[in-house]
Structure 1
């Protein structure tokens, strides 16, 4: 995982997931979690991009 991916995961979680995985269920889940709370979105983005 690059430094740019980590920074994007913290600042804009859905964008980081989109750039790594494209449109799909992970992206939609990331948007939902970010809307519910910023921290769940960040955790999800870091987890998905680290796999």
Structure 2
């Protein structure tokens, strides 16, 4: 499970670096920047790596 999450994170990061933001990244940018749930807080922390 953690391997799968790691893989997805790597894929999203490489997509962002190549200038093609994923739908998730676009949603994240459009929503409130302040985390309002534990899962969202994790997402934000992961996106800052």
Q: Which gives a bigger RCO, structure 1 or 2 (Cα 8 Å, sep 6+)? A: 1
TM exceeding 0.5:
no
- Structure number with greater Rg is 2
TM-score, normalised with respect to structure 2: 0.30
TM-score, normalised with respect to structure 1: 0.30
